[in-house]
Chain A
Amino acid sequence: MTKYTFPFATYGQNEILVPIDAAMVPIVSGALEKYLTRYVWQTDEDYEAGYNAIAKVMAAMSGNTLAELIRIQTATYRLLDNAINGTTYSETAGVVSPAVPDVPSGGETVPNAIRANVQRLWQLGENAATSQPFADPAINGMQALDAAGGWTARFNALQGVKDATWFGGGTPVTLSDLYTKQGIVSETDEGIINDAFEEVLGTVQDSTGIGQALATLFGSAVGVASDGGVMVALLGAALASATTAATTAIGLEATVAELRALNRRLTGSDAAGDPATPAELPTLAARVGTVATNTATTAARLYSDARRLSEAELSAEVSARVFSILGRVGDPVDGFTLNALAHRSSFLLSQVAPLAAGNDVYSTLIAVNDNVRRSADCCEENSGGGGFEPVPPYQPGLCGDATLALTSSGLDFAPNGIAAEIGFGTSASSLVTVLPSGGPGGVPVVQATDTGVILCFQLQKSPDDTGNYSLFVVAYQADGGTGPAGTVFDLSGPGPFTLPMFTEYEGEPVVYAFSANRRNSTTDELESFAGPQPSLYADVSQVS
């Protein structure tokens, strides 16, 4: 008897589906019986593999595999039918209904059907492209599409429409319309116009020249009404600048005349009136400040006009000086005291001097300024009718009390009128800061943080402590903020001390001293000091 060998090489690679009628399964399975015995196989390995393969076939025969496949296929159809057509299936006592039809329904109105959704998307697309409105009530929950929401409608709404005229209109604006409206015929013409503008603004010095240059340079490019309008506007601007310059010159003459009158009034040389009384001095001085500011404003306007006409003719030096003046006197005059105003006037004159040397206006302003100093600084001493003292170097006085307190954030300096007089901010934090261990031996250092501040602070330990005194003097340059940040004097032993405090304030010596007569009892604010906790005293006096 021929024995079988098991097909190890090809087994498990492919399977075939053999339909066997269920009634034939017992017979077919019985026919396979002999393959479960050892004698039909060549070797033990063939037997084991063949036995398992035949037994596997026998096991599959009772599984009704084909019916399971058909059931799964039917279920798959119902799944797709539900998704695509929206058909709803139900099961009652193992019977699923509706039955699978031979022809699908193809419904497009069931809300959850893919067909319905696709139909809706198609409607949305056509609505967007053509603004065609759709209202399909058969699709439950779907609203009618808005015709105005379509792309066509939206684009039409965005584009402009020309006004209707006798010749028509009311039509959408085209790019050609916009191009014509701009009056730009070609890129070549545009370049000619730009060159003309540049030439006119850069070289022409008077209105006649401007007109001639415009007529020459525009040439053939000035071919439309709009371009002609531009030329007219340029001519008008040139004429207006010339007129403004003339007006400014007239105003400057009036200013000089007023300053002369004020000078005569202050110096008592005005034959038509009495010398100014001390009571009148503040008013007159304020007027000087106003006039000075107005002069600066006028100068600025004059410069601006001159620059518009021909910037090239104004030297760089003159420009820098004028702008420097404008920057110095740009603050409101009303915010200054008499001293500050007078001092600024002096500074203004020093700046104007190179520009107006030999001019009568300059000498007049110098005289006015000297008298203002006299009035401001020496008003008490010089008002007794004994005549004016020689004008001392400028020394802004201290007309108010100052308070000094050490806080956790710095030295709280409340100078009252002082800061206002010398023209700086009154914010304590903007004036000074305290470096807790910045001085020699790690002692605190008081530093000025703003330009133009000259401060001296004497710090003393508690009265029952006869030990060391520390004096911190901050001498700070006001000139452009380039001076030293602070100078520290550490004095040992009991005070008082002669304070070597000198500095420069806009070129003239000024000395202030703040000595102690006020105590800050907030001890926790003094923790930054090393050693025994000192108290802080401060009062104000002037050392000159």
Chain B
Amino acid sequence: MNKVVATLLLLLRDGTGSPGRLSVYVADSLSVVAARAAAEALAGAVGAVSGCSLVGYSVVYETVVSDERPGQSDRREVLRLVFATEGGGYAAVDIPGLFADLVGEDGLSVDGSSGTVGALVSDLLSGPWCNPFGQQLTALLASYREVQA
């Protein structure tokens, strides 16, 4: 059996405003570009048989579950890293559940160049990661605690 590595999710809305959804699955032999093209073709076919409007679609790749135990931190405490990217852009990377001992006495600062935070930053800078516009991360500009609602 081929391994399923991604799920194609079409988000629909009927005439009453209620959402609907359609899920199909993608084999691991399909590239992201091909999956996206297949989703657009499928959305057109669905529109021919359904009165719902297409709100959008997503291709969600496989989620690897490593630990299902509850976390140890407040989900609202977020480590916000802001990077400069190639082309003069920016990239914001948020890590939820920030450990309290990583926050400075001022309640704001997080030292991005030392310890575990530093290792994370290094991985982000050396990896293939980019901002939503395909611009590669080049340097860390800010690292601090953020509280999300």
Chain A interface (Cβ within 8 Å of chain B)?
22-23, 25-27, 29-31, 33, 36, 38, 47-48, 51-52, 54-56, 58-63
Chain B residues 128 to 142 lying within 8 A of chain A, measured CB to CB, are: 131-133, 141-142
- Distance between Cα atoms of A59 and B85 in the complex (Å): 13
Interface of A is mostly: helix
Indicate whether B67 reaches chain A with its CB closer than 8 angstroms: no
Interface hits, B64-97 → A, CB 8 Å: 76, 78, 80, 82, 89-92, 94
Which of B89, B90, B146 makes the CB contact (< 8 A) with A29?
Answer: B146
- Provide the residues of chain A in CB contact with B133, threshold 8 Å: 48, 51
In the complex, are the beta carbons of A36 and B92 less than 8 A apart?
yes
Q: How far is the CB of A340 from chain B (nearest CB, A)?
A: 106
Cβ-defined contact, B82 with A30, below 8 A? no
The answer to whether A30 and B141 have CB atoms under 8 Å apart is: no
Kindly provide the distance from the CB of B103 to the nearest chain A CB, expressed in whole angstroms.
9
* Binary flags per residue of B94-121, CB closer than 8 Å to A gives 1, else 0: 1000000000001111000000000000
Q: Which 9 A-B pairs have the closest CB atoms?
A: A55-B90, A59-B82, A62-B142, A62-B144, A59-B141, A59-B142, A26-B147, A30-B148, A55-B92
Interface residues of B in 2-34 (CB under 8 A from A): none
CA distance A188 to B21 in the complex (A): 125
Tell me, in angstroms, the Cα distance from A56 to B90 when the chains sit together.
Answer: 7
Are B78 and A30 in contact, with the CB atoms below 8 A?
A: yes
Residues from chain B with a CB closer than 8 A to the CB of A23 are: 106-108
B90 near A62: Cβ-Cβ < 8 Å: no
Complex CA–CA separation, A148 to B122 (angstroms): 77
Residues on the A chain within 8 Å of B148, using CB: 30, 33
Instruction: Kindly provide the distance from the CB of B126 to the nearest chain A CB, expressed in whole angstroms.
Output: 20
Q: List, sorted by A's number, 16 A–B pairs whose CB atoms are closer than 8 Å.
A: A26-B145, A26-B146, A29-B146, A29-B147, A30-B78, A30-B146, A30-B147, A31-B149, A38-B132, A47-B132, A51-B133, A52-B90, A55-B91, A59-B141, A62-B109, A63-B142
Chain B, interface residues (CB within 8 Å), range: 20 to 34
Q: Mark B42-84, 1 if CB is under 8 A from A, else 0.
A: 0000000000000000000000000000000000101010100
Contact residues in A for B94 (Cβ distance below 8 Å): 33
CA distance A22 to B89 in the complex (A): 25
A52 near B89 (CB under 8 angstroms)? yes
Q: Are B80 and A22 in contact (CB under 8 A)?
A: no
Cα distance A495–B142 when bound, in Å?
Answer: 118
* Chain B interface, >50% SS class: strand
User: Which of A27, A38, A56 meets B147, CB within 8 Å?
Assistant: A27
Residues of B within 8 Å of A55, CB to CB, are: 82, 90-92
Q: Considering the complex, give the chain A residue whose CB is closest to the CB of B85.
A: A52
- Bound-state CA distance A31–B78 (Å) is 12
Would A22 and B107 count as touching, CB distance under 8 A?
yes
Kindly state the separation between the CA atoms of A59 and B106 in the bound complex, as whole angstroms.
Answer: 17
Give the nearest-CB partner of B76 in chain A: A30
Asked whether, in the complex, the Cβ of B82 is within 8 Å of the Cβ of A58, the reply is: yes
With both chains docked as a complex, state the minimum distance between the C-beta of A28 and any C-beta of chain B, in angstroms.
9
In the complex, the chain A residue whose C-beta lies closest to that of B110 is A62
Contact of B144 among A26, A38, A48 (CB under 8 A): A26
Smallest CB gap from B82: residue in A: A59
A51 with B132: in contact, given A22-B108, A26-B144 (CB under 8 Å)?
A: yes
Given that A30-B149, A48-B133 are contacting pairs, would A62 and B91 also be in contact in the complex, using a CB cutoff of 8 Å?
no
Chain A residues near B108 (CB, 8 Å)?
Answer: 22-23, 25-26, 62
Do B80 and A29 touch across chains, with their CB atoms under 8 A apart?
yes
CA distance A58 to B107 in the complex (A): 16
Residues of A contacting B144 with CB < 8 Å? 25-26, 29, 61-62
B142/A58 in contact, CB under 8 A = yes
Q: Which residues of B contact A26 (CB under 8 A)?
A: 107-108, 144-147
CB distance from A356 to the nearest CB of B (A): 116
Q: Give the nearest-CB partner of B106 in chain A.
A: A22
Quote the shortest CB–CB distance from A138 to chain B (angstroms).
48
Q: Which residues of B contact A30 (CB under 8 A)?
A: 76, 78, 146-149
Q: CA–CA, A26 to B145, complex, Å?
A: 6
Shortest CB-to-CB span from A1 to chain B, Å, is 12
A30 vs B94: C-alpha distance when bound (angstroms): 10
Return chain B residues, CB-CB under 8 Å to A63: 142
Complex Cα–Cα for A284 and B10 (A): 153
Question: Which residues of B sit under 8 angstroms from A62, Cβ to Cβ?
Answer: 82, 108-109, 142-144
The CA of A27 and the CA of B147, in the complex, are separated in Å by: 5
A48 CB to closest chain B CB (Å) equals 5
Residue of B nearest to A48 (CB): B133
Closest CB-CB distance, B114 to chain A, in whole Å? 15
Alpha-carbon distance A207/B147, docked complex (angstroms): 128
Residues of B within 8 A of A25 (CB): 108, 144
CB distance from A18 to the nearest CB of B (A): 16
Residue of B whose beta carbon sits closest to that of A60: B142
Query: Closest Cβ of chain A: how far from B142's Cβ, in Å?
Result: 4
- B78 surroundings in chain A (CB, below 8 A): 30
Which residues in A have their C-beta under 8 angstroms from that of B132?
38, 47-48, 51
Q: Is the CB of B146 within 8 A of A51?
A: no
Residues of A within 8 A of B141 (CB): 59
Q: How far, in whole Å, are A38 and B76 apart by their CA atoms in the complex?
A: 22
Distance (whole angstroms) from the CB of B136 to the closest CB of chain A: 15
Residues from chain B with Cβ under 8 Å of A60 in the complex:
142
